[in-house]
Amino acid sequence: MKVYAIQNIKTGLFLSEGKALKRTRAIFSNIPRLFIKKQSATAAMNAWALGVWHHSIDEYGEGEGPQPPNKIPEDRIKEDLKVVETEINF
């Protein structure tokens, strides 16, 4: 079975699994967050590169879902990341 992970090219570390609703705050470590689709890993990499997302509530008290930050942090450079593929067997 093929799985995918997001790796920092400079450090060799992987984007780790974060807590629910805080995945964009995940750090890089030796324990990778695994994806079963390359498309999912690429989407996560792109979302991480935008910065920490937030949940907002409109004037009616309804949640609008996750929103990207207004300004992209300078320390999140998408070019430093790549999606890597590996094969695992159970």
Question: Do 17 and 28 touch, CB atoms closer than 8 A?
Answer: no
User: With a threshold of 0.85, does the pTM exceed it?
Assistant: no
Centroid of chain to Cα 17? 9
32: nearest Cα among 68, 53, 41: 41
- At 38-77, the pLDDT tens digits run 999 999 888 888 877 777 777 777 777 777 777 776 766 6
24: nearest Cα among 3, 43, 39: 43
- At 6-39, the pLDDT tens digits run 999 999 999 988 665 555 466 889 989 999 999 9
List the structure tokens of 21: 């609703």
| Strand, coil or helix: 85 | strand
